[in-house]
Amino acid sequence: MDNFVKIWSLETGAYERLVSAAADSTLRIWDPENGQCKSTLTAHTGAITCFQHDGQKVISGSDRTLKMWNIKTGECMKDLLTDLSGVWQVKFDERRCVAAVQRDNLTFLEVLDFGASRDGVPASQRGFRNVLRFDEGRSAVEELDDA
């Protein structure tokens, strides 16, 4: 073993940007050309439990928050969700972010819409999120619109 992780694009054959997460509450962005750490993202206070990234942003879950980072500057841009007791999984695309979270001993799927302002949805109709709640051993029990 050479202690390296290398990721190539199947389409272009070029190295791709790598982001890693650690129990020390940090994320690291690595330069694919030389393997050096380009930046260390620090704003969480507990072990990173989940994250996803694209060429623009990283969304990470830890401790009691779901955060969005600028991948180029390493800046924490926004706390997407707060006051959580756990964050289990996160997935996003250009339009939406879905996170499996725990709040008050219940599991929720939070669906955040990033594209509303871009798509011209009036401010008075923005700010709502869809929440799907799960009870122990049962499927979804209700869907809420929560501001």
Task: Read off the pLDDT of residues 56-115 as tens digits, 9 standing for 90 and up.
Answer: 899 999 978 999 999 989 999 999 999 999 999 999 988 889 999 998 888 888 888 877
Q: Give residue 13's pLDDT.
A: 74
pLDDT score, position 139? 52
132 belongs to a structural domain = yes
Better-predicted residue by pLDDT, 129 or 49:
49
The answer to the question of residue 107 being in a domain is: yes
List the structure tokens of 27.
């994320």
pLDDT of residue 108: 86
Is 123 domain-assigned?
A: yes
Q: Report the percentage of the chain scoring pLDDT > 90.
A: 39
Q: What is the pLDDT of residue 94?
A: 83
Indicate whether 38 belongs to any domain.
Answer: no
Predicted TM-score of the model (pTM): 0.76
Task: Report if residue 41 sits inside a domain.
Answer: no
Place of tokens 């962005």: 29
- Average pLDDT of span 19-38: 87
- Give the pLDDT confidence score for residue 89 in this predicted structure: 95
Q: Answer whether residue 3 is part of any domain.
A: no
Order the strands of the 18-21 sheet from edge to edge: 18-21, 26-30, 37-42
Yes or no: say if 89 and 102 are a contact pair by the CB < 8 Å rule: no
Mean pLDDT of the chain: 81
Domain span at residue 97 reads 50-146
Q: What is the pLDDT of residue 128?
A: 56
CA distance 147 to 140: 20
Asked whether the predicted pLDDT for residue 5 surpasses 80, the reply is no
Domain count, the chain: 1
What's the residue count for the chain? Answer: 147
Residue 59 lies in a domain: yes
**33 within a domain of the structure (yes/no):** no
Q: What is the pLDDT of residue 141?
A: 46
DSSP codes joined into one string, 29-70: EE-TTT--EEEEEE--SS-EEEEEE-SSEEEEEETTEEEEEE
